[in-house]
Amino acid sequence: MASETTKRPRLVIDVSPDIRRRVKAQAALEDMTISEWLLGLIMDELEEENDVRLALERLTDSSSRVTLEEVESERVELERKGAL
């Protein structure tokens, strides 16, 4: 019977031994694997990028004023719908 597991794409980067040691130590301090820790950083960065994009889109519409809470609410709704 074939395996039911889904292959996940990989990202590979080359780092110096010192960087690897520092990343490993920081992940351990947060009780995470290196992969979990790096994926968290990547996801945080992508979420911030989406927040900035949404805010800039709203700012170009000079006919309306929005609060930070409204931008965040819109981002959460778009994320929930899978649009981000």
> pLDDT tens, 5-14?
788 899 999 9
Running DSSP on this structure, what letter comes out for residue 9?
P
Residue 1 is predicted with a pLDDT of 47
Average pLDDT over residues 35-64: 82
Global confidence as pTM = 0.57
Contact predicate 27/37, CB 8 Å: yes
Q: Residue written as tokens 């960065």?
A: 45
**Domain annotation covers residue 5:** no
Range of the domain at 34: 17-80
Total structural domains within the chain: 1
**Domain annotation covers residue 65:** yes
Average pLDDT over residues 25-31: 97
Examine the pLDDT at 19 and tell me if it is beyond 50: yes
**Domain annotation covers residue 10:** no
Contact predicate 54/74, CB 8 Å: yes
**Domain annotation covers residue 76:** yes
Rounded to whole angstroms, how far apart are CA atoms 47 and 43? 6
**Domain annotation covers residue 58:** yes
Average pLDDT over residues 32-49: 91
C-alpha distances in Å from residue 51, one per residue of 4, 7, 78, 83: 36, 30, 11, 13
